[in-house]
Amino acid sequence: MNKQKFTAVDLFAGIGGQSVGLKRAGFVIKASVEIDKNAVKGYKQNHPRTRVFDYDIREIDTENIKKLLGAKPLHLLAGCPPCQGFSSVRRLNRKQSVRDDRNNLILEYLRFVKELKPLTIMMENVPGLVNYYLFKQVVKELTELGYNPKFDILNVKDFGVPQSRKRLVLVGSLLGELDLSKMYVQKRTVRHAIGDLPKIENTDDEAHKIVANHIPRIQRMIELIPKNGGSRKDLPKEYILECHKKENVGFNDVYGRLKWENYSSTITGGCLNPSKGRFLHPEEDRCITAREAALLQTFPKNYKIPVDISKTSAALLIGNALPPRFSYYQSKNIKNHLIENLK
């Protein structure tokens, strides 16, 4: 049974972070669903054998996926439904979530569970979703369907990802008790991830050349920020931006440098812009590149990032992805459960 090929479907696949982890754990990804054209372009470059449904998930007939599976069962349905209204960035200084139509896409994940009847399920999301009434409804219905869902908020840094990033993870199984993987692996740092990369001017990697350019004043400000963990708070007064002079205004980490021997801050959709967070290189006087951001997310070094799109779009693809190494540990845990229960 150990030689059996386990099948998976990846919903809201993005550029493929979850799929990388699934494949590394031994799953064959029969289909993925993603509507964003830039993400689809990147996904197809890296996962050419997976059938990609590149339109609105609400319009997808699951019969088309059943045809791909044939008479074989679907072993795992994985998905990261967008729930942007619950992200910590969108909720800054707000008590409630932001109204966003994408918050309802979690019901599409539930529809796919009901119609495809996978043996196991895995759903990942932002921690703020845990108190959302639709999440509670989904958990209730998954319980009624027999999946006995378990969920918790985990930090990817505990799974060998060189980044502090909390995620809500839910798993369930029709085969018996399935718990989340909570194994703690050796700490990996910024240096582990990007310390051996060549300088931008010496690279042939087009993704490593995707980097922010700045007006002279901002560039000078970056040069004055102390190496290896310094921040805008260390700047001379004349270089502090007007928007940062008021107390309790703005993010503390903006224009901050990463620290070699520590985790990076959360790689977000603004990761190629130092005004969006702690995204300056530990030593060099620049923001991290698209390749460095992808490596901090634990994408393989040769993972293709579309280079014919805007820097903003590239940053969104990388920042919105599920870190592949985190996906791998959760997926491997589920595969072991399948092996044990399908003897």
- β-pairing verdict for 6-11 and 76-79: parallel
Whether 83 is catalytic: yes
**Among 80, 83, 271, 287, the one annotated catalytic:** 83
Q: Cα-atom radius of gyration of the chain, to the nearest Å?
A: 21
Interatomic CA distance for residues 190 and 213, integer angstroms: 22
Q: Which residues pair with 121 in a beta bridge?
A: 77, 172
By the 8 A CB rule, do 34 and 47 touch? no
First to last CA, the chain: 6
Residues tagged active-site: 83
